[in-house]
Amino acid sequence: MSGKRIPYGYQLKDGIIEADEETGQMVQEIFETYSRGIPVARLKDHIQGLKLHRTKISDILRDIRYLGDENIPKIIEKDLFEAVQQRRKERLKEIGKEKSYLYHKDTFMLGDKIKCGECGSDYHCYKHGSTQIWDCSRRLVKGRVTCRNQRIQEEQIINLLTKVIKKLKKQPALIRKVTIESRKNNSRIKAVEREIEMMKNSQNYAVDDLLRLIYKKASLQYELSDDGSVEYYTKKIEKLIQQRKNEETTEPDTDLLDAIIKNIVIYQDGRVQFILKNGAIVEEKEGERYE
């Protein structure tokens, strides 16, 4: 029996495995107590002298060898063993439920709109007491920290949103102005512009190459310019904001937010970008005073 450990509850006597009186009794008590609904972590409070680690206890509870066979005597009756397996299944389900209860996107009106500006993943919400906190869904992957973006309270996001709506009401030109800027700031166009600039400065370049870049820039601009949808959304947003111009913003208008906000992007440095449906970006910084 080299290397093979004898299961807890047994002992080896003259080359034969037999039940150990003391630990065998312990195994019996672990199964019985657990089948009565006591969770693994609480078994110690109910079984005198139980000093096993909870992972060890979990292993014991699913060890089929306790049912016995020709090589090893039975310690646990089949009925009890099966009752315990049933209880383990239920317990796993309960834990699964607790987990899905933790993340509930649907409870927030902008649930599927919040994105991580650092890794691009969705943000998830969980409850901490009565506070709802949003966190990058890739913060922990298989127990490892993979994204260090900030956690943000739902209340803070709502405050910033209210601020954005107020701002748009006061300066509706932002809806249009930011659109142009966001297009001008497009990184792909900027990269091509840099290439053109470098080529022009390099003295000797092939005209064809320069023309190719100029064509590339033009087609990118065309691609990003109006296919109709930008103008459509711009007008729609302007209209919605105009309609509510004289309404006092006290609490968030769900319909309005849903109609005008495409995404909310959270950054580690505290910036929160509100991307409107027309591509315009209104940026706010968390922690700035709300006027």
Contact set with Zn ion (CB under 5 A): 116, 118-119, 121, 136, 138, 147, 149
| Residue number, 18 or 118, with CB nearest to Zn ion | 118
Taking the alpha carbons of 197, 201, 207, 208 in that order, is the dihedral positive or negative?
negative
Contacts of 59 (CB under 8 A, 6+ apart): none
The gap from C-alpha 287 to its chain's centroid, in whole angstroms, comes to 23
| Residue number, 37 or 120, with CB nearest to Zn ion | 120
Using the structure block, give the residue that is written with the tokens 């495409």.
262
Amino acid letter, residue 290: Y
> Torsions phi, psi of 19, nearest 5?
-65, 135
| Residue number, 192 or 264, with CB nearest to Zn ion | 264
The rounded distance, in Å, linking the Cα atoms of 21 and 176 is 83
What is the nearest approach in angstroms of Zn ion to the Cβ of residue 140? 11
| Residue number, 118 or 286, with CB nearest to Zn ion | 118
What is the nearest approach in angstroms of Zn ion to the Cβ of residue 202? 39
The closest alpha carbon to 51, from 43, 63, 61, belongs to: 43
| Residue number, 35 or 149, with CB nearest to Zn ion | 149
What is the nearest approach in angstroms of Zn ion to the Cβ of residue 230? 28
What is the nearest approach in angstroms of Zn ion to the Cβ of residue 114? 11
The rounded distance, in Å, linking the Cα atoms of 80 and 90 is 15
The rounded distance, in Å, linking the Cα atoms of 104 and 252 is 19
What is the nearest approach in angstroms of Zn ion to the Cβ of residue 151? 11
Judge whether 76 and 28 are in contact, CB under 8 Å: yes
In the chain, what is the greatest distance between 2 CA atoms, to the nearest angstrom?
94
What is the nearest approach in angstroms of Zn ion to the Cβ of residue 138? 5
| Residue number, 136 or 260, with CB nearest to Zn ion | 136
What is the nearest approach in angstroms of Zn ion to the Cβ of residue 216? 32
The rounded distance, in Å, linking the Cα atoms of 227 and 285 is 32
| Residue number, 39 or 120, with CB nearest to Zn ion | 120
Decide the pairing of beta strands 281-285 and 114-116: unpaired
